[in-house]
Amino acid sequence: MEKKLYRSPDNRMIGGVCGGLAEYLGVDPTVVRLIMALVTFVGGMSLLVYLIMWLIIPEKK
């Protein structure tokens, strides 16, 4: 079975990107959100990456 990356309609806080990444990687969505928050505060680039992913990744139906 081929795995595909989708935005999650169930595990979403803003756009479902972190929830979709968590489902794809098989980890808890909270872990992905914490990593994304840490990278945002340390590097600042993840907010732009998040917005781009929100636009590019299709939502799971």
Q: Is the whole-model pTM more than 0.85?
A: no
* pLDDT, position 30: 93
8 Å CB contact between 43 and 33: no
Which pLDDT tens digit goes with each residue over 6-19?
A: 998 888 888 888 89
8 Å CB contact between 47 and 41: no
